[in-house]
Structure 1
Amino acid sequence: MISTIQVIIVEDDFRVAEINRQLIEQIAGYKVVTETRTASETIAFLRQAEALPNLILLDVYIPDSPGLDLFWHLRSEFPTIDIMLLTAAKETKIVEEALHGGVLDYLIKPVEPVRFAETFRRYRSRKVLLSSKNELSQEDLDRVLFGTEMRQDPTSNVLPKGIDRLTLERIENVLLQSPAEGITAVQVGEAAGVSRSTARRYLEYLVSVEIVGAQLHYGDVGRPERTYRKL
């Protein structure tokens, strides 16, 4: 099983890099091992590293690397490292080239914190799944490729009776910002502005489609509580 995911941030603006570091390290299971400002600094660090990172968060606009030159260099010399792009580059040609090169995600600046966190949580879920099995079922592959099982996709137009899309989105947004150890139905209800029973109904639906995990938490006294966290 994978433990902590090691990340390098390649960003020439130190202020943006620091913000990204803080956002990443708020998510359970991640550690930023370094920040680099240029292509040459990035390549030099990787060549002397005792262990390669799992993931690079890369900007397109790097002073000594025009376009996607650094991206392609990394894909060639360090093919085992996954790459996500976080950049202001919106040109279709660049996006298509990055997708062709196997970029894991393409985030356009300024990115919403919820979208940012969702990307990293989904990546960790993918790594955990891939490291835990020798063979994958179609359902497993759907989770790897699309983030969930296609036949149970909660973003589809058809939701079960009693599940409203707007309320579901509010519940999911609360979960994205919840602590790594999980959150109770009471806490979700308070944050989302719904009753505990409503929160529990939506949470159990998300558990059923494998978007959320649940476990019992035993406190010092009283009955154990069921806590929920985004997978």
Structure 2
Amino acid sequence: MHETIQVLIVEDDFRIADINRQFVERVAGFTVLEIVKTSEEALAYLRSHSALPQLILLDVYIPDSAGLSLFWKLRQEFNEIDVIMVTAAKEVVTIAETLRGGIFDYIVKPVDFGRFEQTLKRYYDQTHLLASRVELDQSEIDRLTGSRRFHALEKENEGELPKGIDQITLDKIKDILQMDDGLGMTALEAANKVGVSRSTARRYLEYLVSIKKADAQLKYGDIGRPERKYSP
């Protein structure tokens, strides 16, 4: 039987803190150890207890902590504890900094329980997978990093192809684009490599541009009209 994952909530608003506690305790396998309101209380609690929580739910806006100073203190002193940001802060610079600091997830207030539950279940699965193995294969690593989900979405999107685009030819066009030497490739060059007409190659290349899988730029030569060149 799996052990219960213990959670510390750092939130200065007692009403939101209680909502977060209720949310945590609605998810099987989790329990709240303590709720603290300030940076001083959070650090004092962690420094005085030998049994540390596995997970911290952390707000950015803590009264006695400027910016992300508490976050970085936690990363430096208690790096073995995972952190999920639960905050109203939506600034890109803040989100980027916490991502660089290795957060597990970033949830914006007001918190939707379904979104919250999804994150905790994913954390639960990851924690117990890591605890049960000495090594992981690639598919398991993809599961942890989310790569499997992105591959699935990519395949799903590719399955909804517009009229006049087939998967086999599309894959060939994508493959030859990946061999681009950095100078870009015209529709005629792509057509010759794949074995289709110029107009067909252009149609597929423009489709890749439309779904942001390729870039197109006009290249001006010494003589004649500018050429539209494509690159991955």
Q: If the TM-score is normalised by the length of the shorter chain, which range does it land in?
A: 0.5 to 0.7
Structure 2 distance, partners of 1:155, 1:62, is 42
How many Å apart are 1:111 and its aligned residue?
A: 2.1
Which residue of the partner structure matches residue 57 of structure 1? 57
TM-score by length of 2: 0.65
Structure 2 distance, partners of 1:122, 1:103, is 13
Structure 2 distance, partners of 1:99, 1:7, is 20
Count residues with an aligned counterpart.
160
Q: Is 2:15 the counterpart of 1:12?
A: no
1:95–1:150: structure 2 CA closer, same or farther, 3 Å change rule? closer
User: Alignment identity in percent?
Assistant: 50
Q: Which has the higher helix share?
A: 2
Let me know the Cα RMSD of the aligned residues: 2.1
How many Å apart are 1:113 and its aligned residue?
A: 1.2
2:99 maps to amino acid:
L
**Using CA pairs below 8 Å that are at least 6 residues apart, which structure has the higher relative contact order?**
1
Match of 1:7, SS state, is strand
Q: Is 2:42 the counterpart of 1:42?
A: yes
Structure 2 distance, partners of 1:152, 1:90, is 28
Unaligned runs of 5+ in 1: 160-231
Give CA deviations for 1:158-213 in whole Å, capped at 9, x if unaligned.
67xxxxxxxxxxxxxxxxxxxxxxxxxxxxxxxxxxxxxxxxxxxxxxxxxxxxxx
1:31 maps to amino acid:
T
Which aligned segments of 4 or more residues in structure 1 are displaced greater than 4 angstroms? 147-155
Computing the radius of gyration from Cα coordinates, the structure with the larger value is 2
Structure 1 distance, partners of 2:71, 2:140, is 28
Is the 8 Å Cα contact of residues 2 and 127 (structure 1) preserved in structure 2? no
TM-score by length of 1: 0.65
Which residue of the partner structure matches residue 86 of structure 1? 86
Which residue of the partner structure matches residue 69 of structure 2? 69
Q: Is 2:121 the counterpart of 1:127?
A: no
Structure 2 distance, partners of 1:111, 1:156, is 29
